[in-house]
Amino acid sequence: MTGIHSSTESPFHEGERQVQERLGVRDKIEPFARRVVRDHVPDEHREFYGMLSFVLLGTVDGKGRPWASLVAGQPGFMTTPDDRTLDISARPLFGDPLNGTLKPGTDVGLLGIQLETRRRNRLTGKVGVVRPNGFTLAVDQAFGNCPQYIQTRAVEVLPEIGDVAQERPVHRSDRFDRRTREVIEGADTLFIATAYSEGQGAASEGADVSHRGGKPGFVRVEDESSFVFPDFSGNNHFNTVGNIVLNPKAGFLFLDFEADDVVHMTGAAEIVWEGEEVQAFQGAERLIRFRAEEVIRVEGSLPLRFDFGAYSPMLDHTGSWEQADATIAADKERNAYLAYEVVGIERESEAIKSFYLRRTGGNGLASYEPGQFLPIRLSIPGEPEPALRTYTVSEAPGANHYRLSIKREGGDAVASTFLHDEMKVGDRLEAMAPRGKFTLDRTSERPVVLISAGVGITPMIAMANFIISEGRRTRGFRRTYFIHGARNGRVHAFGGHVRRLAVEHESFTAHIRYSQPSADDRLGETHDSEGHVDLALLKQVLPLDDYDFYLCGPASFMRSLYEGLMDIGVREDRIHYESFGPATLIGRGVAGASTARQVEVRFAGSNVRAEWSPEAGTLLDLAEAAGLSPAFSCRSGVCGTCATRIRFGGVDYIEEPSAPHAEDEVLICCSTPRSSAGEATCGENCGVVLEL
């Protein structure tokens, strides 16, 4: 099947191309569209239109205002005399603006949608002949459309189909009356008409009509004449959004599938690209806001009966305004400890348990990125002060809970021992919002390599689940390699889950290596190889390509892999890492760290001197290595327990701390010394002097 355009003509106009460029899909969608956007109606589309009992049309009135309309008939009311002509034997419904816009030469966008099967096709063209019982369209463009967000409904043509022009009550206004508002707020489906033309006659110009779907209530009425709704991922053509970018005029059609009422409106739309609402509404790529200038509601004009079937499975990956509002409210309290209830506990291995946390009182969760950690405050009987700890959220964003997968550390690890032995469903703890810089780069399209050891698997599970969830939502799965090392199957968490992902998704490859397999482990079943995860294994598993690497595990494990990857030419900005133990600097020239290779630090209160270098980690790591025992709890700048007075010198923070501290104090758990040796204010040529 040939495409529509020559090698020099794009199927997209300037507005569509602008949006594609903005979102980084221009280079991919252009060659694809040249193959699937045609200047004729292919045979399978001709057959499809002949099966439909209704079709949507987008037209523009004499004032340049787009309107969305519906025409209906018994299946077969649309025919294709040839592959460039569509004949529609149907009259517009009473009160529909199409009665005034349907004239020879009028630009038309057409959407054929079969609700029973979620199939849809589109075309654009111009009105040819207008007859008392119908009209023809000369086709400019024809293309298929994906089935996302369509709710299934069985459609039955009613006897009233022969009398669509019969007069019915019509309500006209410049705002929403009570009944119109009910229709909008209860909608799970809408149709939007837009248009753009420079008058050059290009096939990419003209009118358009498209479908949008969501959970009931996905359209939020903001006032008596405006509403807003989330725009989810689509086919990357951006016909609607591209039109609005260049021409904000738009028309909407809402159908009351129960009462057979039809609501048309026209006005101005805008694209909301950024902001807290976009970020908080799960699945939203952007918002579309609309202000009505004219509203027409026609009572009982639909000559069709719709029986609801099922919501689109794609809606499982989208949120609601209620959830978005709760997230926005929670984000405003990011640095406050709030109450959470344990609503579930699962054993992931002999060493790791998962704890599911929800806000008490049904309050919302703060937003987070896959890979971030949750600071918690835990009251433990017998302990004089609450324990402050940080644990990675091991689930992708979008759930109604946080999941912490915590390893029993043993020894004097009071917090993890208490959680494993004493914490029960229904118990409570306190937590701030998730935070941390070890996060998945959503903007990159490079293949991802997730490499972990031991409990370092927790952020990798969150990242892997997020990649898969986004792939399901956008229908574009990012190539992912999941490489994990554990002693054996008894202590290996999430093994079954990772293997299921690898079986279900061709884009996901997993390799598990055990260093000390148990008698129950089976090579090729529970694990893929034996030994430690090292550079040789990466060379064996990974094809030659440009990757984004993410490392999490013991410091020595990460340092070895980091250095090995650097030595074989991997760019430093392609390697991301986090330690689940003491904060550790392993990069060469780590951003935010001191530039000097060595800085002398004096702990004045203990009369101890130590040489710091990037390999030494944080000031807390350095103090512990020197035999000191500073107070600390979180190692991430959250709790403020480690605040220490600084006499001379300065520090750099690996991550800007959220805990308050005085101007003459530093948080040694997340800072490194800045060299100031030789400065008169420093004293005795020490880079940093701490009162510790």
DSSP characters over 27-49: HHHHHHHHHH-BSS--HHHHHHH
Q: What pLDDT score was predicted for residue 641? A: 83
356: left (phi over 0), alpha (psi -120 to 50) or beta: beta
What's the Cα-to-Cα distance from 193 to each of 207, 272, 658, rounded to whole Å? 7, 18, 47
Q: Domain ends where: 547, 579, 611?
A: 579
- 460, 366, 364: which is closest to 405 by C-alpha? 460
Q: d(Cα 466, Cα 447) in Å, to the nearest integer?
A: 14
Residues 423, 459 share a domain: no
The DSSP element (H or E) to which 560 belongs, if any, is: helix 555-567
Q: How many CB atoms lie within 10 A of CB 54?
A: 24
Same domain, 314 and 337: no
What is the domain count for the chain? 4
CA distances from 519 to 350, 488, 489, 490 (A): 15, 9, 10, 10
Indicate whether 532 belongs to any domain: yes
596, 687 Cβ separation under 8 angstroms: yes
CA distance 423 to 409: 15
Q: Which residues contact 362 (CB under 8 A, 6 or more apart)?
A: none
CATH of the domain at 679: 3.10.20.30
Q: Which two three-digit tokens encode residue 349?
A: 């291995």
Q: Is residue 338 part of a domain?
A: yes
**Inside any domain, residue 223:** yes
Sequence-ordered alpha helix ranges (H) in 225-363: 239-246, 276-280, 321-331
First to last CA, the chain: 77
228 and 122 share one domain: yes
Kindly state whether residues 317 and 344 are assigned to the same domain: no
Domain boundary (300, 321, 342) is at: 321
User: Are 201 and 308 found together in one domain?
Assistant: yes
Chain-centroid distance, C-alpha 197: 33
* Position 442 in a domain: no
| pTM: predicted TM-score of the whole model, two decimal places | 0.85
What is the span of the domain harbouring residue 506?
A: 448-579
pLDDT at site 427: 97
Same domain? For 317 and 337 the reply is no
Are the C-beta atoms of residues 302 and 262 closer than 8 Å to each other? Answer: yes
CA-based radius of gyration for the chain: 31
Domain of 362, CATH number, reads 2.40.30.10
Q: Determine, yes or no, domain membership for 4.
A: no
Averages of pLDDT over runs of 10 residues in the chain (692 residues) are 55 95 93 93 97 98 97 97 97 97 97 96 96 96 91 96 94 97 98 90 90 97 98 94 97 96 98 96 97 98 96 94 95 92 97 97 94 93 89 94 94 91 97 91 94 96 97 92 97 97 97 97 96 97 95 91 94 83 49 57 93 84 89 78 91 81 91 63 64 94
Backbone CA torsion sign across 362, 368, 370, 375: negative
Positions of E strands within 408-533? 428-431, 448-453, 480-486, 508-514, 529-530
H or E segment at 100?
helix 98-101
Q: What is the CATH number of the domain that holds 306?
A: 2.30.110.10
- DSSP E strands: which ranges in 188-310? 189-196, 206-213, 220-223, 226-231, 249-255, 262-272, 286-298, 304-310
Q: Does the residue 328 lie in any domain?
A: no
The verdict on 380 and 285 lying in the same domain is: no
**Domain identity same for 221 and 246:** yes
Does residue 340 share a domain with residue 317? Answer: no
- Is residue 3 assigned to a domain? no
Indicate whether 238 and 341 sit together in one domain: no
- Do 214 and 306 share a domain, yes or no? yes
Residue 392 falls within a domain, yes or no? yes
CATH classification at residue 506: 3.40.50.80
64, 190: one domain: yes
690 to 312, 635, 646, 656, 675: CA distances (angstroms)? 61, 18, 5, 19, 14
Please identify, among 321, 345, 360, the residue that sits at the C-terminal boundary of a domain.
321
Neighbours of 148 (CB within 10 A): 20
